[in-house]
């Protein structure tokens, strides 16, 4: 008898609890006071908004029997990498969507605005020549670096109309069009952990890359350079709650940027490995030869792990 009463009470309470999540279209009073973020879907989303980063497995120096640092470039023009680039928001009067943002927007807001507790993502400058996180920029320095005013020598347009090339000094406002970030550089470290007997990889840093523009001709050079670096383990705290569009067109099974990076769900090209010369692949090979060299490095990593288990 007690069991039956307990089952009935359980059913009543569970029915009451579930009924609070469902809104009846015939009862307009239920919609009073609903947050705007719940008006965009037929159900309340809380899967990714409350996620916490999964801690890395404990790693000791004594357990690392081999390691190598690798630098990659993620080209956002490739189809598989489109979720990193879209939606484009620059020049459209604010964010296009609130449920997802491009990777550069997530990083930009993490640097300038931070989280609800006021913590901001640390950013490091001198990105082209230094990827060791040595020159930290404050929030004010970051804004001044990319959105401040700088003095440039530019062509006098009036003199140019007369057929004369005269350079004048002029103050120009810097423009940080986030849609111009077409590539990302990834610094990662591959290692073999003998304690767990696994070949593993961890990303160390991310750097957005923008195409260089000739200051005189104002034409794009075709070469990309790094703008700044962020420390990836710290950036995970912001990427873990940022949704990414699902390319199979299923909005109910979206992932976050942290999921994308941890599961390696992106296409990339190796542009550098740690060597005695400390140089990029493009410094000694170009074109098809550079791509073949990148594939050679990739295959070398695969063969190293494969040879560990071959007797």
Structural domain boundaries in the chain: 64-147+177-308
Residue 252, CB-side half-sphere exposure with 13 Å CA sphere: 2
pLDDT bracket for residue 21 (50, 70, 90):
very low
| SS3 per-residue string spanning 113-163 | CCCCCCCCCCEECCCCCCCCCCCEECHHHHHHHHHCEEEEEEECHHHHHCC
pLDDT tens, position by position, 136-163: 999 889 988 887 776 777 777 777 777 7
Decide: 183 and 209 in contact? Cβ < 8 Å: yes
Decide: 122 and 136 in contact? Cβ < 8 Å: yes
pLDDT of residue 218: 67
Decide: 165 and 155 in contact? Cβ < 8 Å: yes
Decide: 188 and 202 in contact? Cβ < 8 Å: yes
pLDDT tens, position by position, 54-78: 999 999 999 999 999 999 999 999 9
Where do runs of H (alpha helix) occur along 122-271?
Answer: 139-147, 157-161, 232-239, 257-262
pLDDT bracket for residue 132 (50, 70, 90):
very high
pLDDT tens, position by position, 246-262: 988 888 888 999 999 99
pLDDT bracket for residue 26 (50, 70, 90):
very low
């Amino acid at each position: 008898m007690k069991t039956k009463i307990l089952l009935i009470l359980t059913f009543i309470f569970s029915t009451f609890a579930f009924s609070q999540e469902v809104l009846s279209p015939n009862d307009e009073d239920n919609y009073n006071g609903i947050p705007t973020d719940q008006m965009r879907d037929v159900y309340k989303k809380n899967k990714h908004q409350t996620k916490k980063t999964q801690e890395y497995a404990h790693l000791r120096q004594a357990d690392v029997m081999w390691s190598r640092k690798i630098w990659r470039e993620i080209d956002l023009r490739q189809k598989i990498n489109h979720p990193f680039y879209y939606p484009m928001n620059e020049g459209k009067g604010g964010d296009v969507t609130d449920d997802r943002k491009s990777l550069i927007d997530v990083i930009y807001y993490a640097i300038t605005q931070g989280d609800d507790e006021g913590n901001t993502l640390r950013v490091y400058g001198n990105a082209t020549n230094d990827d060791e996180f040595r020159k930290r920029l404050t929030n004010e320095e970051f804004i001044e670096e990319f959105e401040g005013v700088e003095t440039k020598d530019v062509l006098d347009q009036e003199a140019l109309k007369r057929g004369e090339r005269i350079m004048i000094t002029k103050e120009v406002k810097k423009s940080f069009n986030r849609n111009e970030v077409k590539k990302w550089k990834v610094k990662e470290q591959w290692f073999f952990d003998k304690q767990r007997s696994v070949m593993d990889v961890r990303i160390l840093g991310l750097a957005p890359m923008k195409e260089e523009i000739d200051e005189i001709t104002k034409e794009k050079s075709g070469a990309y350079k790094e703008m700044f670096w962020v420390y990836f383990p710290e950036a995970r705290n912001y990427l873990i709650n940022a949704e990414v569009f699902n390319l199979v067109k299923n909005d109910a099974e979206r992932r976050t940027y942290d999921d994308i990076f941890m599961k390696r769900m992106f296409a990339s090209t190796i542009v550098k490995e740690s060597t005695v010369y400390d140089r990029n692949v493009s410094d000694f090979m170009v074109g098809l030869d550079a791509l073949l060299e990148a594939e050679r490095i990739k295959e070398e990593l695969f063969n190293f792990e494969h040879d560990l288990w071959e007797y």
